[in-house]
Structure 1
Amino acid sequence: MRGLPMAAPLDPVIAQIIPLLPMRDPTVMTPQSARESLRELAASRAAIPPPPVDTVQDIKVQGGAGPLDARLYRIGTGPAPTVVFFHGGGWVAGDLETHDRQARWLAIETGAVVISVDYRRPPETRFPGAFEDAFAAVSDVFNRVAEFGGDAKRLGVAGDSAGGNLAAATAIACRDAGIKLAAQLLVYPVTDVVGGYAEARENARYPSRAENAEGYFLSRAVMAWFTGHYLADPTHAKDWRVSPLRAPSLAGVAPAIVTTAWFDPLRDEGAAYVRALEAAGVRVKHHEGASLIHGYFGLGDASDVARTEAQRARADFKALLARGI
């Protein structure tokens, strides 16, 4: 078993940012306030020009219950890989706007056509709605790939946090459906929600849930809040479509780049997913984010450490996409 790195100090720039970040008190949080606070955080960066891409186009993709809003980002016009991207926000919050910059950087640094998907969110639509939207969207893009990057052998999925959860589960579903993906990029993903982050026995499996329970932006209590909104029934947590680490087999899923952050309650379940992929014979590379917190892909404008680590992960993802299937 691979050991975790020695704890590096928290990036001092990020330490100054943490008190300014939203969604840290589940006792007063509502779905609407969570959504508004993430939108406000994105809007606060308006003075910093977004990274330029050649094409930004609002489109529709097929979801589990009808068309979904999506946004296409592209560099250039030639043949390219295609990546379907799922935003984070605990399934409840997040949208095309909050993750616009992340989608742009993904397009710029991989050269892929990136399609960011606005999946249905709880509590209005609980599990399995978001998963069904994610899988339907990837299936739709696969069937229409000539309209996008044009190369079915270079199709990937990506997502951060709850979006990483959706990407991981969708990669399993694609394997089962015979849709071959070239790569998956799982950015500090949720991989095991059994116990809803509230049961001591389940939490004990992952020491980071105690070590980073609070004080580093994402807290264990907020994860319990998110999970409670996503799942109408706590027993659904055992379903691999919610907890991909609980899948009967990961053999044959797409090669993966997995990032974690040392100061993140989700760190150890992400690392466990890396080990499970390796044990299943899946090619995987793990970026451990030694000085970083959950959400650091969105902090690259402020933190050099965050920007460099995100760039390394995207470069590795680009290499997997370039190989194709």
Structure 2
Amino acid sequence: MPPVFQPDPRAGSTTVPLDDDGAILARVAPELRDGARLVLGHPLPDPLTHAAVLAMRASAPPPAAPLPAPAAGIVHHPLPAAHGRPATSIAVIGARPGTAPRPAVLHIHGGGFLVGRAPDTYAASQRLADDLDCVVVEAEYRLAPETPFPGPLEDCHAALVWLHANAARLGVHPQRIAVMGESAGGGLAAMLAIAARDRRSVPLCCQILIYPMLDDRTGSTRAVPPFIGTIGWNAPSNRYGWSAFLGRPAGGARVPAGAVPARAETLAGLPPTFIGVGAIDLFVDEDIAYAQRLIAAGVPTDLRVVPGAYHGFDFIAPQSQASIAFAAAWKHTLRTAFAS
């Protein structure tokens, strides 16, 4: 999922102010600097409020059009209401009923728990389905603050259970299902993997966590270096996003069970994991710490920290060598899990 700011590639560069240490861009990999200029030229609202979030949703550009045939097709299936969750539909990409079972990915979009839509990533998921010869299911979930935890997680879990229950009709191998998400979607994917383990609901073969939002304490009770999180998603936005999601101030002594992956009591029994993050992303410390905990729990884990990369760099500058190598790394983890 693209980050909260989605730059128009036709836009020109902007002048970037200097921080106390020199140019902000000096910490950015050279090939990612043009993208950083675009992000810095469109800062998040300060302060981030509910009214600002509503305005961001209203002003979001239309989703990119799905790719035309012969790209993987998109079919919508109903997901009935249950347990207080409204009825919705699920977008299934690349299904081939009646063929030999293929692996599947449940994808969860990002947006700080506050914004974002599943259709924003349909085209990217079509490319993923074609590239890995798999089925991709897009999970749509209710947003905070209107729907705090556990609502968004339950929406994603319902989509995962539906995918597993309908594997045969979709041509999906029920033991080859992975979860994936970016930013807040990565956080929800991590929550979902923990919930699936604890509820014994769906066996997962892999989790792909792209600069995941894992710890409500980042930027609230735990400070970050001043040059971290200066491009794109930042500490004040993180405090607001987590507070809206939790329904209580971020960084408190207690949080709802299952709401914050970094606070999970144990990570043992989770599926093989890829975690990727930029070295100047706000989430770099929490993502490294989560990877360390996974490794200590015996979970096969691939951690990638990209030098000079900011939040959402791979969406902002997809043709850069850093982004190409980053995508190749997480796709390798998926292919390995699908083949095992």
TM-score tier, shorter chain, comes to 0.7 to 0.9
Whether the aligned pair in 1 keeps the contact of 2:29 and 2:309 (CA below 8 Å) is yes
Greater shift in the superposed pair: 76-85 or 162-171: 76-85
Q: 1:239 to 1:145 in 2, by over 3 A?
A: same
Q: Secondary structure at the match of 1:157?
A: strand
Q: 1:118 to 1:237 in 2, by over 3 A?
A: farther
Given candidates 110, 130, 136, the residue that maps to 1:88 is: 110
Measure, in 1, the Cα distance between the counterparts of 2:76 and 2:137. 9
Alpha-carbon distance, 1:267 to partner: 0.7
Alpha-carbon distance, 1:252 to partner: 0.6
Q: Return the TM-score normalized by structure 1.
A: 0.84
Alpha-carbon distance, 1:276 to partner: 0.6
Alpha-carbon distance, 1:135 to partner: 1.5
Given candidates 197, 220, 236, the residue that maps to 1:221 is: 236
Q: 1:228 to 1:84 in 2, by over 3 A?
A: same
1:246 corresponds to? 263
Percent of aligned pairs with the same amino acid: 26
Instruction: Within 5 Å, give how 1:298-317 maps onto structure 2.
Output: 298-317=315-334
1:66 aligns with 2:53: no
1:292 aligns with 2:292: no
1:24 aligns with 2:44: yes
2:283 corresponds to? 266
Alpha-carbon distance, 1:62 to partner: 5.2
AA partner of residue 198 (structure 1): S
Whether the aligned pair in 2 keeps the contact of 1:70 and 1:96 (CA below 8 Å) is no
Alpha-carbon distance, 1:281 to partner: 0.7
1:97 corresponds to? 119
1:211 corresponds to? 227
Alpha-carbon distance, 1:52 to partner: 6.2
Alpha-carbon distance, 1:88 to partner: 0.3
Whether the aligned pair in 1 keeps the contact of 2:47 and 2:236 (CA below 8 Å) is no
Measure, in 1, the Cα distance between the counterparts of 2:78 and 2:53. 25
Instruction: Within 5 Å, give how 1:143-162 maps onto structure 2.
Output: 143-162=165-184
Whether the aligned pair in 2 keeps the contact of 1:61 and 1:141 (CA below 8 Å) is no
Question: Which 5+ residue runs of structure 2 have no aligned equivalent?
Answer: 1-25
Deviating runs (4+, > 4 A) in structure 1? 48-52
1:114 corresponds to? 136
2:10 corresponds to? none
Q: 1:237 to 1:166 in 2, by over 3 A?
A: farther
Q: Secondary structure at the match of 2:118?
A: coil
Measure, in 1, the Cα distance between the counterparts of 2:185 and 2:198. 20
Greater shift in the superposed pair: 161-170 or 25-34: 25-34
Q: 1:165 to 1:240 in 2, by over 3 A?
A: farther
Q: 1:318 to 1:297 in 2, by over 3 A?
A: farther
Measure, in 1, the Cα distance between the counterparts of 2:75 and 2:43. 30
1:192 corresponds to? 215
Q: Secondary structure at the match of 2:266?
A: coil
Q: Secondary structure at the match of 2:220?
A: coil
Whether the aligned pair in 2 keeps the contact of 1:82 and 1:156 (CA below 8 Å) is yes
Whether the aligned pair in 2 keeps the contact of 1:110 and 1:318 (CA below 8 Å) is yes
AA partner of residue 266 (structure 1): F
1:231 corresponds to? 246
Given candidates 150, 175, 185, the residue that maps to 1:163 is: 185
Question: Which 5+ residue runs of structure 1 have no aligned equivalent?
Answer: 1-7
Highest Rg: 1 or 2?
2
2:206 corresponds to? 183
Q: 1:32 to 1:236 in 2, by over 3 A?
A: farther
Q: Secondary structure at the match of 1:270?
A: helix
Measure, in 2, the Cα distance between the counterparts of 1:180 and 1:289. 30
Alpha-carbon distance, 1:263 to partner: 1.6
Alpha-carbon distance, 1:36 to partner: 4.0
